[in-house]
């Protein structure tokens, strides 16, 4: 296992139209994903932890406006941004999560702070923000999170009861996440999202819920999900894959494919996930039209894809 490591990231899954994806846009997304993978690889190749790698990769994705997390988060029905995130260590099974936080520049870092600097796993809204301020975490003004594309998406359905998955139409891309295995064989997973456009009542999806959208266990795998969160919660997707591996002896690929393309698909769950097992094997199944995804390992080659192109995993 020594000197072996791997990392995978995603930027959302859904109905992504090939005809509306220009070469310029594709390059922008591939560049952003490559930057995120490189951020994680720089840590892993120097013997750093998988936990540091997934946090750093997700920060990279939160800091660009082209994905629905951090800077690129969608608007709620009140015209604000409410963000969710989670992180988990496969070595200790420690986890941290936040939901409904506003103006926090990097929600994934707040999730990690919950894990490491509190006695809790999950904090929400005002309390999570108070905790962030007590630690001196970085906040930004509303203007930082504003993008014309996201604002136009919201204005199209403002004042209605409609909601819109950020990845369901052209230029509406999604939740971000990262999974990694480091040189010590430790696994970690992290996920971050702005939720769904025009959401009401403090809606929370699967991303910050340990076992649904995010999970890591050195005995099995690390998982980060993206898609229609309500279905991923009901199916307890991330933990289900781990259980199939631990208790039924399925491989990572077998377990991930079974959950995403059979169990989840059969009752209407749309989306996908990225996963890595304790040997560094990677799986990235999805049942939607496309999923923004990329991976690399100790060989140093970064591979990115959106549609069904073979990534030679």
105-128 confidence digits (pLDDT tens): 999 999 999 999 999 999 999 999
Which own/partner contact pairs does 305-309 have at CB distance under 8 Å and 24+ positions apart?
A: 306/16, 306/21, 306/26, 306/29, 307/16, 307/18
In this model, does residue 8 exceed pLDDT 50? Answer: yes
Single out the catalytic residue among 175, 191, 197, 220. 175
pTM score over 0.85 = yes
In this model, does residue 1 exceed pLDDT 80? Answer: no
Do 99 and 207 meet the contact criterion of CB atoms below 8 Å apart?
no
In this model, does residue 129 exceed pLDDT 70? Answer: yes
Cα distances (angstroms) measured from residue 178 to each of 133, 146, 189, 223, 250? 25, 24, 6, 8, 22
16 confidence band (pLDDT: 50, 70, 90): confident
170 confidence band (pLDDT: 50, 70, 90): very low
pLDDT attached to residue 248: 98
- Give me the domains of the chain, ranges plus CATH numbers: 6-305 (3.60.20.30)
Averaged pLDDT, 195-220: 93
Sign of the alpha-carbon torsion through 259, 264, 266, 270: negative
Do 225 and 193 meet the contact criterion of CB atoms below 8 Å apart?
no
Residue-wise pLDDT for 36-72, tens only, equals 999 999 999 999 999 999 999 999 999 999 899 999 8
In this model, does residue 165 exceed pLDDT 50? Answer: yes
171 confidence band (pLDDT: 50, 70, 90): very low
pLDDT attached to residue 53: 98
Give the strand order in the sheet containing 176-181. Answer: 122-124, 95-101, 83-89, 187-193, 176-181, 6-14, 290-297, 303-305
78 confidence band (pLDDT: 50, 70, 90): confident
Do 8 and 305 meet the contact criterion of CB atoms below 8 Å apart?
no
Do 309 and 23 meet the contact criterion of CB atoms below 8 Å apart?
no
147 confidence band (pLDDT: 50, 70, 90): confident
The more confident residue out of 248 and 159 is 248
In this model, does residue 222 exceed pLDDT 80? Answer: yes
3-state secondary structure of 170: coil
188 confidence band (pLDDT: 50, 70, 90): very high
Please confirm, yes or no, whether 15 is among the known catalytic residues.
no
Residue-wise pLDDT for 261-312, tens only, equals 999 999 999 999 999 999 999 999 999 989 999 999 999 999 999 998 656 5
The mean predicted confidence, pLDDT, of the chain is 91
Percent of the chain with pLDDT over 70: 89
Sequence-distant (≥ 6) Cβ neighbours of residue 52 within 8 angstroms: 43
18 confidence band (pLDDT: 50, 70, 90): confident
Averaged pLDDT, 221-236: 96
Sign of the alpha-carbon torsion through 151, 155, 161, 164: negative
In this model, does residue 100 exceed pLDDT 80? Answer: yes
168 confidence band (pLDDT: 50, 70, 90): very low
């Amino acid at each position: 296992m020594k000197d072996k490591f791997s990392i995978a990231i995603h930027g959302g899954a859904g109905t992504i139209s090939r005809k509306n994806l220009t070469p310029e846009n594709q390059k922008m997304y591939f560049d952003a994903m490559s930057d995120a993978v490189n951020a994680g690889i720089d840590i892993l190749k120097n013997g750093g932890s998988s936990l540091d790698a997934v946090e750093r990769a997700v920060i990279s994705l939160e800091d660009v406006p082209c994905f629905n997390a951090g800077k690129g988060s969608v608007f709620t029905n009140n015209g604000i941004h409410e963000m969710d995130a989670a992180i988990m260590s496969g070595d200790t099974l420690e986890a941290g999560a936040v939901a409904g936080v506003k103006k926090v520049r990097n929600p994934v870092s707040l999730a990690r702070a919950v894990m490491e600097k509190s006695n809790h796993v999950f904090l929400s809204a005002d309390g999570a923000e108070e905790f962030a301020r007590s630690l001196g975490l970085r906040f930004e003004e509303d203007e930082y999170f504003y993008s014309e594309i996201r604002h136009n998406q919201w204005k199209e359905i403002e004042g209605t009861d409609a909601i819109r998955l950020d990845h369901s139409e052209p230029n509406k891309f999604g939740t971000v996440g990262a999974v990694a295995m480091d040189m010590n064989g430790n696994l970690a997973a992290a996920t971050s999202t702005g939720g769904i456009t025009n959401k009401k009542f403090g809606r929370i999806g699967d991303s910050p819920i340990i076992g649904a959208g995010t999970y890591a266990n050195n005995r099995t795998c690390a998982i980060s999900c993206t898609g229609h969160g309500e279905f991923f919660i009901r199916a307890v997707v991330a933990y289900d894959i781990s259980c199939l591996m631990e208790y039924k002896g399925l491989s990572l690929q077998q377990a991930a494919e079974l959950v995403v393309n059979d169990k989840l698909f059969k009752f209407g769950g749309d989306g996908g996930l990225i996963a890595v097992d304790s040997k560094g094997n990677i799986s990235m199944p999805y049942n939607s039209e496309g999923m923004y995804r990329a991976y690399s390992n100790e060989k140093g080659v970064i591979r990115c894809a959106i549609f069904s192109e073979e990534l030679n995993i």
